[in-house]
Amino acid sequence: MKRSPESIDQLTATISALLDAPRMLANLERRVADLTDAVRSMENRLPSLLVSAEHAAKVWGSSPASVRRWAAEGVIPVVRLGRSLRVDLSKVRGIDRDDIARLAREARSR
């Protein structure tokens, strides 16, 4: 079977791209790692967002007592200023479905 010059060129280009894929993937992985490091560096330079337990409760739609309990259990990051409790909202990530399911299981097991 005789191939046309165009199909040979296409096949050559495809093979060349496949052979170059590992190098390109390694470059992308390095870029992702660099960007991840840059984002973490920026996050570390951001000032903390310290708020009262009452304010955190309003943000999360919960009660101040729950916020204080989570702080005592080590669930959320807090800073104590004298007798005052401050919640570091900049260190708290959002809750997702898996977290809700886990919390529901824990609540049912108590």
Residue 95 pLDDT > 70: no
More confident: 27 or 93: 27
Tell me what pLDDT residue 91 has. Answer: 80
Tell me what pLDDT residue 23 has. Answer: 95
**Tokens 């004298």 identify what position?**
82
Domains in the chain, number: 2
Does residue 79 sit in the same domain as residue 94? Answer: yes
Does residue 105 sit in the same domain as residue 59? Answer: yes
Tell me what pLDDT residue 5 has. Answer: 79
What pTM did the predictor assign? 0.45
Tell me what pLDDT residue 65 has. Answer: 95
Query: What does the pLDDT look like over 13-48, one tens digit per residue?
Result: 999 999 999 999 999 999 999 999 998 888 777 666
More confident: 90 or 80: 80
The parent domain of residue 90 ranges over 50-109
Q: What is the mean pLDDT of residues 84-107?
A: 80
Does residue 54 sit in the same domain as residue 99? Answer: yes
